[in-house]
Chain A
Amino acid sequence: MTTIKHHISDEILTGYAAGVLPEAFDLAVATHLSLCDECRARAMALEAVGGAVLEETETAEMAPGALDAVLARVAGTAPEAPPAAQPGTVRRKDSVLPMPLAEYAGGSLDKVAWRSVGGGVMQAVVARGDDGATARLLYIPGGTEVPDHSHHGLEMTLVLDGAFCDRGQRYGRGDVQIADETVDHTPVAEPGAACICLAVTEGRLKFSGLLPRLAQPFLRI
């Protein structure tokens, strides 16, 4: 867990903390955070900024009776009890796929529905949002070039097993490569064991409607 060298950028981590990333990128970040305590701590610190924003923000009056309504809704139920502590238990169910990714990929690596894309390379789409952003698992035999999975926009590649090299850098388990259309790169899986990674790409630029936004037509011409 201490060997991760390539981390998530401030911009993407801020987007994650603020909750504005496409789902496919959220998945990649959550997966990296499951492997990288350093980025997890950075993400928690960036969430603390969100807490400060909430604390400092103006207020909007709640509807009359809102407190009673919520109390009526929850008062019948005791707050949930904390789960029994199980010190020392390993929660990870799959040795390659951290939990958030396993949940998207059918539970474990052996459940992944791989499809061949030629040259021994296989892929499996695990998340594709309405925003067009797509997360796919790639299986790249050792020594093989990672297929160009990007068309335009931001892309993130997170290594889960094995390693690839690109432009003199080695990316092993937990490492993230972040690139965009301006970066010309050709990652190649290290000779030997296959490289398994999670590759996330952005769809065409679309207005991602998080919620109806009155301001959108004015801000995003």
Chain B
Amino acid sequence: MNLAPAMDKSVSEDEWVSCLWRIRTAADQEAFARLFRHFAPRVKAFLMRGGADAALAEECAQDVMATLWQKAHLFDPEKASAATWIFTIARNRRIDAARRSKRPEPEDLPWGPEPEPDAADAIGLQQESARLVKALAELPEAQRHLIERCYFGDMSHREIAAETGLPLGTIKSRIRLALERLRHEMK
């Protein structure tokens, strides 16, 4: 019974993956609209929680969604869920707004997104991402709020380092499987 919400989540994760795929391969505006209706209000709220006013958050959220269209080919369902990928775009947009410079990114891996992602790997990663969402929702409220503040950009790196209540150990055990999958893939 307990699995039902996670299963529902993984169904929708798959849907987002297929929407991104349809944008990439067919410039599918209906798929884009579905992603937009789900994610744009989340990105906007995410940016506002990080301190942006509503107008700036609106503008940046639109930029993020435009980037999603333009860069759909960079999405790799074997390495990230749609939500994770969109989070990184929103995070980078927030940094660009603050610094007026690009965030340094690691060198490209010798292998990029594959033309045809491996379905089993992609499904496995999407399911683990769904479980991570569930695990986050089940954390004690105080810990969950700390993690949220951290990712909203509402805590400095000094605060993160000094914060003993941040459940990094808990997060680490929750993401162990995702981590092992990634490490395995990189070998």
Residues of A within 8 A of B (CB): 10-12, 14-15, 17-23, 25-27, 29-31, 33-34, 37-38, 40-63, 66-67, 69-71, 73-75, 77-83, 85, 87-92, 98-101, 103-104, 129-130, 154, 205, 208-216
Contact with A along B24-38 (1 / 0, CB 8 A): 100101001100110
B147 proximity list for chain A (CB < 8 A): 49, 53
In the complex where A37-B186, A74-B69 touch, is A59 in contact with B42 (Cβ < 8 A)? yes
A43 proximity list for chain B (CB < 8 A): 106
Structural contact, A99 and B107, CB atoms closer than 8 A: yes
Q: Is the interface of A mostly helix, strand, loop or mixed?
A: helix
Contact with A along B77-95 (1 / 0, CB 8 A): 0011111111110111011
Residues of B within 8 A of A (CB): 23-24, 27, 29, 32-33, 36-37, 39-54, 56-58, 61-62, 65-66, 69-74, 79-88, 90-92, 94-95, 97-99, 101, 103-108, 110-113, 115, 128-129, 132-133, 135-137, 147-148, 150-158, 160-161, 166, 168, 171-172, 175, 178-179, 182-183, 186-187
In the complex where A20-B156, A26-B103, A80-B70 touch, is A10 in contact with B172 (Cβ < 8 A)? yes
B95 proximity list for chain A (CB < 8 A): 19, 210
A57 proximity list for chain B (CB < 8 A): 42, 45-46, 49, 148
A69 proximity list for chain B (CB < 8 A): 62
B178 proximity list for chain A (CB < 8 A): 44-45, 48
CA distance A42 to B172 in the complex (A): 9
A20 proximity list for chain B (CB < 8 A): 150, 153, 155-157, 160
Structural contact, A98 and B107, CB atoms closer than 8 A: yes
A54 proximity list for chain B (CB < 8 A): 39, 42-43, 46, 83-84, 86-87, 90, 151
Q: B11 → chain A, closest Cβ, in Å?
A: 14
